[in-house]
A and B are shown apart, each in its own frame.
Chain A
Amino acid sequence: MSERRIDLKRELEELKKRAEGVFTARRSAIPPRPRTAAVRLADAAAGEETAGARGVFYRIRADAPAIWPDAPAFHREYLEALAGAFFPPAPPFAPLRALRDVPPERAFYLDIETTGLGGAAPLFLVGLMYSSGASLVVDQLFARDYSEEAAVLSYLAGLSRRFDALVTFNGISFDVPYIRDRATVHRIAFAPPAVHVDLLHVARGVVAGRTPNHRLQTLELHLCKRKRIGDIPGAEIPGAYHEFVRTGDAKDVANILHHNRLDLVTMLQLVTIFLSSRS
């Protein structure tokens, strides 16, 4: 048996090498992290176990100021831009018009974190953000292990019915089909709101050629004039999550949740910037 095991190991290395060949382009090397004492999830993120029709998951719900001091200001500007009389006349902005037709608290921002790029890889975090009166709420549905994915999705399906509009970045080709596929696998009926504004599509028309590319973090740098420091790179997220599931050490979970929140806030800010564009 031991010899066979060694033999298989060698073969596995081969398979992995081949897989690496396909994916290296999207992966940066993960630097070894210093060993520290294990972090408990409750300490990494203050949330609570929440029960839904398909079981329990972990929900982290917070008013935006609790996570980022500048957020209330971003939110105020956003509400003003939505309510303002001005609307940029250029055609690429047109999709945003739908956002003005629904009350701000009936629209939610969505960004998911997954363990793969498609197919059958589970997702584990659904980040939502919406206005609640004058405050901005970040609501993150987190699967503490793979078995909680169904609970997260079923809860999302229920939540999403209460909204009229959805805002995403690349959600038309990524987030929504991904959620739909995963919901199908768990036989959960998921219907996104009728209105879906995909900011990637707006950005392509608006910034056309003025930024090196149309990735969210590029737009963040050039339009929001912010640069992330210490953020966990997207490509490292699946591995970090698997590590958490394996060890229970939540040291990276806070980083992932934060990364997700940054994405959400940037989306909100992009809408503000787009709506205030005079050129």
Chain B
Amino acid sequence: MEVTKFLKRVQTEDFYAGQIAHKHTIPARSARFAELSPPLPAKLARLLKDTGVEKLYVHQAEAVKLLRGGEDTVVVTSTASGKTLCYNVPVLSSLLEDPEARALYLYPTKALAQDQLRVLQRYMGPKGIEFRAGTYDGDTPASSRRKLRDEARVLLTNPDMLHSGILPNHAKWANFLSRLRYVVVDEIHSYRGVFGSHVANVLRRLDRIAAHYGARPVIAASSATIANPGEHAEKLLGRAVRVVAEDGSPRGRKQFLFWNPPTIDVGEMERRSSNIEAAELVTRLVLDDVQTIAFVRARVVSEVITRYAREMLGKHRSSMKDSVHPYRGGYLPEERRAIEKRLFDGDLKAVISTNALELGIDVGALHASIIVGYPGSIASTWQQAGRAGRGKDEAITIFIPYNTPLDQYLASHPEYFFGRSPENAIIDPGNPHILMAQLRSAAFELPLEAGEVEAAGEYAPSILELLEDEREIAFVRGKYYWTGKGYPSADVNLRNISPNIYTIVNEKAGNSVIGTIDESSAFQQVHPQAIYLHEAETYFVNTLDTEKKVAFVEPANVDYYTQSITETQVKVDREEKSREWRIAKVSFGDVSVTSLTFMFRKIKFGSRDSIGYGKCDLPPQVLETAGLWIVPPPETFAEVRRHGRTPGEGLLGVSNVLREVLPLFVMCDPLDVGTTVNSRSTDSPAVYVYDKYPGGLGFSLKAYDLVEEIMKAALDLISSCTCARGCPSCVGSPIPPFSQLDPETGGKGMIPDKEAALVMLHHLLEIGPYTPRAVERAPGEGTPPERPRGKPLPLELQGKLRAELHKKARAK
């Protein structure tokens, strides 16, 4: 596309009011090719030529060479750099060279596996290579499963299916597994935290079962850009790997714009709607015939923006209305396939998508990507940006921040974004909780030998002893045998998602299913009287049947949508242990995190005005888990206050920082733990850290022993942050609390006061004294009156008063 021309024109339009806050140019890069040695089988070389591949880029050539030479390899290059070819070429060549060879492809999602099957099909058939390939997942009909087992030479599946469907039934797969030459593990950056730790174990299980049948497949992995691709791959795959990171693909020049909606009030606090700005840009790009993808954080936003864009397009050219479409989870698979196809064929000009399209589904060459709201990580942002631009064409990425402190921070500090390296992917396959679940499955599949157990992690022998005590394992003649009941794999869900999926049916169309939604989202989005948006159309929710797990809706032509309000509370159920940590008290025990969706607001399309409220009568959703809580003494609060700062903000800042630093100490993903501030169960406000898994997975337990180290790291992180008043990488949390909501309609959240957190941490760690910087006032803020100062309350009295307050709160 002609980006410069487009930008010039946009700036002359009526709606332009200086939105371009920053322009960053990523220069073009020309392709670098390399010769393959040894050359490919002639047939494959011809086939590649027929599909438009004349030469291989350097990274492709290197990966192909390594993989064909039997080296486990991870390819870490940019989006659309031709990573798929890196593994498809060696696999196809093995299929040609060895009529018995088999390959297993693992993808994090079903949709991706199906998409990649279509890529493989280009090489299949009478003109290409004769072989069978198929996807094997929960949707595969029983009648096809056997055929796939017996005939497929390339099987595309996901880790969940490998875990619960293939490995426990390995005898039926013996033929396939014994001939396994390659295992492809695509998008390994998505295997992080608990999910990644499970997958690492599943891959080790695959390794031992394949070895049992005499196979030692070569692993081909690929990853989007993360800070530690090699380390992550080795931990995940359990093997030493070669890293191929020299990207030889060409890239047209790319403009990366920060597009900040203009302020609309005198105080410059309110800004024009980011969703509407996004729709405006989509509309202009579509009218210019530029294929565009917009990424949004919440499902509802993909619908709302589509609606706006269709309306705007309709005014210009009504025939274009249908060329914009939402794309998100919860759509029926065939609906998603249809959208992907229309996008690929060029019939669809713009898609407004959640991160469902962030992974590498091939939708062809898009020229513009719009990122509406910070996706929560640098790595994700680059992934989304990378969706625009393929080959040498010029491309554009536009980041539109919301009017929230975090997004606005990024808008005013572009150097922060461009200077920062993407996040680490962290996994801990030896986490005792995960390991126990996985050892049960492994022993069921094949008795564990002593040597294997030693290699499985330091806790493995003790875990097996425990399982022996519980009569699930018997140690007989040097091997551990499964003697428990049932299928242990069925007890474990690799992902932290509720297995309860609700269906959404249209009562006015014979109860036909229009979509699906997971349980916790169902409560927030399809409660009775909610407006459910589907393909940008409004549906009224008549009933939500929590027994049958069905939401009954009917089309309703209304000019508003709804946003529910959910309150989350954490409370202590049982204190298991506690200790004095310096001047504070740290406790660990059972906590429950209760989310209650209690009301909803009606939001008018366009103006974003609240036009009404309603009550929700839904049961609370309770997560019973393990957590730790730190209760600072009253002196710490007094110290913060002495500096004219608010202790509550300090605590909130500490809680946000904990989520940043804790994962490194307890080996999890930031999304695996929750942190919050609450005073319901303690005498004064406490910082909570809890595992986001029922029963807990040991993160907060481990953190309990490491409080000193973790708090020191928190202090280091804030102290060494160069920001002035707090930013997303220190006291501001990049993870929005209610990711399902339209960021324009909810509370804005805040970046808490950095200095308050610093005072608090210095005091708690008994380092000090710390003198905070003077309170800075933003221009135009004026000087508010000083807080009146009186006689400080004696500490005991403070405690008593607080206790009284809490007693009242609890009685309510």
Chain A residues near B (Cβ < 8 Å): 1, 3-5, 7-12, 14-16, 18-20, 22-23, 27, 115-116, 118-122, 145-147, 180-182, 184-185, 238, 242, 245-246
Inter-chain contact A5/B483, CB cutoff 8 Å: no
**A8 neighbours in B (Cβ, 8 Å):** 432-433, 436, 463, 466
Chain B residues 138-184 with CB under 8 Å of chain A are 168-172, 174
A-B contact pairs, 5 of them (CB 8 A): A7-B696, A9-B470, A12-B472, A16-B470, A116-B486
Asked whether A119 and B698 contact (CB < 8 A) given A11-B436, A245-B483, the answer is no
Whether B668 sits at the interface, judged by CB under 8 Å, is no
Inter-chain contact B483/A12, CB cutoff 8 Å: no
**A18 neighbours in B (Cβ, 8 Å):** 490-491
Inter-chain contact B174/A23, CB cutoff 8 Å: no
Asked whether A184 and B174 contact (CB < 8 A) given A8-B436, A121-B444, the answer is yes
Residue ID in chain B nearest A177 by CB atoms: B172
* Closest Cβ–Cβ distance, residue B630 to chain A (whole Å): 19
**B487 neighbours in A (Cβ, 8 Å):** 19, 119
Asked whether A4 and B698 contact (CB < 8 A) given A11-B433, A11-B436, A181-B172, the answer is yes
Inter-chain contact A242/B474, CB cutoff 8 Å: yes
B688-726 near A? 1/0 per residue, CB < 8 Å: 000000111010010000000000000000000000000
Residue ID in chain B nearest A5 by CB atoms: B466
Chain B residues 442-474 with CB under 8 Å of chain A are 444-447, 459, 462-463, 466-467, 470-472, 474
**A181 neighbours in B (Cβ, 8 Å):** 171-172
- A4's partner among B170, B470, B484, B701 (CB-CB below 8 A) is B701
Chain B residues 472-513 with CB under 8 Å of chain A are 472, 474, 476-477, 479, 481-488, 490-492
Inter-chain contact B483/A115, CB cutoff 8 Å: yes
**B472 neighbours in A (Cβ, 8 Å):** 12
Asked whether A120 and B168 contact (CB < 8 A) given A7-B701, A19-B488, the answer is yes
- B695's partner among A4, A11, A146, A242 (CB-CB below 8 A) is A11
Give Cα A110 to B332, complex, Å: 48
- B486's partner among A1, A7, A23, A242 (CB-CB below 8 A) is A23
* Closest Cβ–Cβ distance, residue A276 to chain B (whole Å): 39
* Closest Cβ–Cβ distance, residue A64 to chain B (whole Å): 33
- B444's partner among A3, A119, A180, A245 (CB-CB below 8 A) is A119
Give Cα A146 to B446, complex, Å: 11
Give Cα A3 to B172, complex, Å: 41
Inter-chain contact B477/A147, CB cutoff 8 Å: yes
Inter-chain contact A145/B476, CB cutoff 8 Å: yes
Whether B203 sits at the interface, judged by CB under 8 Å, is no
Apart from A116-B486, A119-B168, A185-B170, 17 more pairs, CB < 8 Å: A1-B462, A3-B701, A4-B698, A5-B462, A7-B698, A12-B472, A15-B488, A16-B484, A18-B491, A19-B485, A19-B490, A116-B485, A122-B481, A147-B479, A181-B172, A185-B212, A246-B483
Give Cα A121 to B443, complex, Å: 10
Most buried by B among A12, A22, A27: A12
* Closest Cβ–Cβ distance, residue A21 to chain B (whole Å): 10
Chain B residues 414-460 with CB under 8 Å of chain A are 432-433, 436-437, 440, 444-447, 459
Residue ID in chain B nearest A242 by CB atoms: B483
- B447's partner among A7, A14, A146 (CB-CB below 8 A) is A146
* Closest Cβ–Cβ distance, residue B28 to chain A (whole Å): 54
Give Cα A7 to B462, complex, Å: 13
Residue ID in chain A nearest B492 by CB atoms: A15
Asked whether A185 and B701 contact (CB < 8 A) given A23-B485, A120-B446, the answer is no
Inter-chain contact B470/A245, CB cutoff 8 Å: no
Most buried by A among B433, B474, B486, B698: B486
Most buried by A among B171, B436, B463: B171
Inter-chain contact A15/B701, CB cutoff 8 Å: no
Give Cα A122 to B171, complex, Å: 12
Inter-chain contact B444/A120, CB cutoff 8 Å: yes
Residue ID in chain B nearest A115 by CB atoms: B483
* Closest Cβ–Cβ distance, residue A74 to chain B (whole Å): 35
Give Cα A246 to B481, complex, Å: 11
Give Cα A146 to B474, complex, Å: 10
Residue ID in chain A nearest B576 by CB atoms: A3
Inter-chain contact A182/B436, CB cutoff 8 Å: no
Asked whether A119 and B483 contact (CB < 8 A) given A146-B447, A242-B474, the answer is no
* Closest Cβ–Cβ distance, residue A261 to chain B (whole Å): 24
> Which 9 pairs from chain A and chain B are nearest by CB?
A181-B171, A242-B483, A19-B486, A15-B491, A184-B171, A146-B481, A184-B174, A119-B168, A145-B476
Give Cα A238 to B471, complex, Å: 12
Residue ID in chain B nearest A178 by CB atoms: B171
Asked whether A22 and B486 contact (CB < 8 A) given A4-B698, A15-B491, A147-B476, the answer is yes
Give Cα A181 to B169, complex, Å: 9
